[in-house]
Amino acid sequence: MKLSKESVLGLIALATFLLLAVIAPGFLSSNNINSMMFQLPEFGLIALAMMVVIVTGGIDLSITYIAALSGVGAALMLTNGYGILPAIIVAILFALACGAFNGFVVSKIGVSPILVTLGTMVLFEGIILAITKGSSISGFSEGYSLIGNGYYLGLVPLSIVIFAVFAIITAILLSKTSWGRSVYMYGSNETATLFSGVKNSRVLMKVYLYASLLAAISAIIMTSRYNSVKVDLGSSYLLQSVAAAVLGGTNIHGGYGKVIGTVYAVMIFQFIRNGLNLLGFHSSLVDVVIGAILILVLAMNFFSDKFKKIAETKNAGKAA
């Protein structure tokens, strides 16, 4: 039986889970499983956002600052006495504004995404600093804190349900809609896509808007979970999210990438971080392990591809 890249990754996720369940004390405790489910969504959403952008062959280095800025938007509304819904709307609007700016420069002016987002990363960070003067905004209502800390039906953390919903939406958007197909087409061959009658700039604009929407959702979960927002909210997720997307099989040059792969990759990261913490590893060694896994899995992909090719040529030879 041939397994897809994603299924192999799924097996790796399952194997890490089982391995850690055996060796890490308390890994399987209900308490720990629960806290992992609370930890995963915020990073998972950022990783999905990054993946969508990478599928187009781009990268969004400003994504975590978009999230932070959108969190600031929500925090400003909440601390000024507005309700939860207006706060969420403002958070999303803040993020969409950032996404539209990125999208405009990338799609209309045509500057390469890494350059644009490198600049907007500094720009958005600056805007947050100018608004907050560097201090944190905190103290939100009980109701708002339920988004990141509450349970759905009293059973599953609400945030992981939100994550699952957005993962499914993203999967459907990418695979079932014409926009999704154009995204993949654009990622594999820009010019051919243009000549086949697709409005590239519109497709791209939507990609950056959608990525910033996901960042906003992540920001809402984070601000609710931490009851506070500061300029560096989630900044450690930036390079990690790129790593998760490529570990999940997304082609860094664009054209390929699946939601399920990224989800598995996020799970692997989550299991390892948590498991190694429980085992009492020094935190800097956790980074080492994650880096090693990244390289190992991709090297494995390379060798399995190679063996497959060799096997195919052999079979072809036999048939002849």
Distance of alpha carbon 241 from alpha carbon 69, whole angstroms: 18
Q: How far is the CB of 55 from other proteins (least distance, A)?
A: 14
Distance of alpha carbon 318 from alpha carbon 312, whole angstroms: 10
16 beta partners? none
Q: How far is the CB of 299 from other proteins (least distance, A)?
A: 5
Residue at 195: amino acid letter: F
Q: Between residues 199 and 253, which has the closer beta carbon with respect to other proteins?
A: 253
Q: Between residues 198 and 242, which has the closer beta carbon with respect to other proteins?
A: 242
Helix (H) or strand (E) holding 229: strand 228-229
Q: How far is the CB of 64 from other proteins (least distance, A)?
A: 10
Q: How far is the CB of 278 from other proteins (least distance, A)?
A: 6
Q: Between residues 290 and 317, which has the closer beta carbon with respect to other proteins?
A: 290
Distance of alpha carbon 65 from alpha carbon 124, whole angstroms: 6
Q: Between residues 119 and 173, which has the closer beta carbon with respect to other proteins?
A: 119
Q: How far is the CB of 320 from other proteins (least distance, A)?
A: 28
Q: Between residues 285 and 311, which has the closer beta carbon with respect to other proteins?
A: 285
Q: For residue 136, give Cα distances in angstroms to 80, 129, 235.
A: 15, 10, 14
Q: How far is the CB of 293 from other proteins (least distance, A)?
A: 8
Distance of alpha carbon 190 from alpha carbon 210, whole angstroms: 19
Q: Between residues 206 and 273, which has the closer beta carbon with respect to other proteins?
A: 273
Q: How far is the CB of 213 from other proteins (least distance, A)?
A: 20
Q: Between residues 3 and 320, which has the closer beta carbon with respect to other proteins?
A: 3
End-to-end CA distance of the chain: 23
Coil, strand, or helix at residue 60? Answer: coil
Coil, strand, or helix at residue 152? Answer: strand
Q: CB of 45 within 8 A of CB of 215? A: yes
Q: Cβ contacts of residue 98 below 8 Å, gap of 6+?
A: 62, 65, 66, 69, 70, 120, 124, 212
